[in-house]
Amino acid sequence: MTEPLLRVENLKVHFPVMRGVVLKRQVGTVHAVDGVSFTLDRGETLGLVGESGCGKSTTGLAVLRMQDVTSGRIEFEGQDITHHDKARMRPIRQRLQMVYQDPYGSLNPRMKVSDIVGEPLVVHGLADDRKAYDERIAELMRTVGLLPDMADRYPHEFSGGQRQRIGIARALALEPSLIICDEPVSALDVSIQAQVVNVLQELQERLGLAYLFIAHDLAVVRHLSHRVAVMYLGRIVEIASRDDLYRAPLHPYTQALMSAVPVADPVVERARLRVVVQGEVPSALRPPSGCRFHTRCAQAMPRCSSDDPPLADLGGGRAVACHLHTAVIPIVRAELEPA
């Protein structure tokens, strides 16, 4: 197998919690990302799902090197970028781009769309030939389904869906191999979301792009992803191919998450068996001991509150961090031990 495009190994991002104005002292640590590992191949989409505070966005920012890493390793195109500073990230930025959630806040209102889309080219010194530059802008506009003439306008003249396309055009300017998309459609009206989802899909087919697609909407993630990782309180609790995960989720949290999302069909809804979880996500400042989900899990066993289940490989690209699915081996070993 060839080298993956992106490899994240045991990534940890911890934030100190400070108190006091004059005599600042650390009173705690938020374990925003706490040992996350995954790989992403060229041309592939990995969906990263979870509820607020699970660390999915922080993971995306760490990969982009817009967030300092506490420990672990991030490899992009075979190169270790874990501790790259701004200057060393500059050549890598061409290949590693992002699309943000907020199509209103992420575009400078005082810049023409042509300057917004072309800015990466200027920054990277690829805008010397004025004619080639103009042609590239026109091509990028067409690529995301906008008219080249619209490039002379300002962001406020565009709707939310069109602004998100402008954001995608800007991300494409430097021909990246990976785009980190952080909730790219969740701020859009339902009837507009499909327009942007389709643009992302078409671009992947045409340009062989890979996406790290961070979102809370499980249906959109299913539609776009090849593989999906489910996060809970800074950890990946389950990772699998799209079809495996949605057909038969193994982790009780994944099951609860899927059950919580209603299907737009009353007949299906009435027939569905749902796994309902109690309570809310605990604070990442003091994550529960053992399995972090045990406080809300209906199937929790005594050991779940003390032993932290590792993300165990079940084969076929599937891994799950749950004693229900990984308990077999240690139990057998214990039984074989002489009394």
Partner 1 sequence: MGQPLLSVRNLVTRFRTGRGTVTAVDHVSFDVAAGETVAIVGESGSGKSVTALSILRLIPDPPGHIESGEILFDGKDLLKLSDAEIRAVRGDRIAMIFQEPMSSLNPSLTVGMQVGEPINLHRNAPWSVALEKARELLGMVRMSDTASRVGAYPHQFSGGMRQRAMIAMALACEPQLIIADEPTTALDVTVQAQILDLLKDLADRTGSALVLITHDLGVVARYADRVVVMYGGRVVESAPASALYAHPRHPYTRGLMASVPRLDGNTGERLVPIEGQPPDLARIPPGCAFAPRCRQATEACRSAKPPLREIEAGHHVACILES
Q: Which is nearer to partner 1, 125 or 266 (CB)?
A: 266
Q: Is 280 in the site for partner 1 (CB under 8 A)?
A: yes
Position among 26, 108, 159, 306 found at the interface with partner 1 (CB under 8 A): 159
Q: Is 300 in the site for partner 1 (CB under 8 A)?
A: no
Q: Which is nearer to partner 1, 137 or 256 (CB)?
A: 256
Q: How far apart are CA 53 and CA 50, in angstroms?
A: 8
Q: Which is nearer to partner 1, 2 or 52 (CB)?
A: 52
Cβ proximity of 244 and 42 under 8 Å: no
Question: Which residues does 99 contact at the CB level (< 8 Å), separation at least 6?
Answer: 164, 167, 168, 171, 179, 180, 181, 182, 184
Write out the binding residues for partner 1, residues 192-251 only, by CB under 8 A. 192-195, 197-198, 201, 216, 218-220, 222-223, 242-243, 246
Provide the minimum distance between the beta carbon of 207 and partner 1 in the complex, in angstroms, as a whole number: 17
Question: From start to end of the chain, where are the E strands?
Answer: 6-19, 25-40, 45-49, 71-76, 79-80, 96-99, 178-182, 210-215, 227-232, 235-241, 312-315, 318-320
Position among 81, 137, 214, 257 found at the interface with partner 1 (CB under 8 A): 257
DSSP string, 119-133: HHHHHTT---SHHHH
97 to 139, 174, 323: CA distances (angstroms) = 18, 9, 37
Q: What are phi and psi of 190, to 5 degrees?
A: -55, -45
Q: Which is nearer to partner 1, 99 or 137 (CB)?
A: 99
Number of residues that bind partner 1 (CB under 8 A): 43
How many residues are there in the chain?
339
Q: Is 58 in the site for partner 1 (CB under 8 A)?
A: no
Residue 23 has which token pair? 């005599």
Q: Is 266 in the site for partner 1 (CB under 8 A)?
A: yes
Cβ proximity of 309 and 238 under 8 Å: no
Provide the minimum distance between the beta carbon of 237 and partner 1 in the complex, in angstroms, as a whole number: 13
Q: Which stretch binds partner 1 (CB under 8 A): 70-78, 93-101, 175-183, 190-198?
A: 190-198
Q: Which stretch binds partner 1 (CB under 8 A): 118-126, 165-173, 258-266, 309-317?
A: 258-266
Q: Which helix (H) or strand (E) holds 155?
A: none
Binding site for partner 1 (CB under 8 A): 51-52, 159, 161, 189-195, 197-198, 201, 216, 218-220, 222-223, 242-243, 246, 256-269, 274, 276-278, 280-281
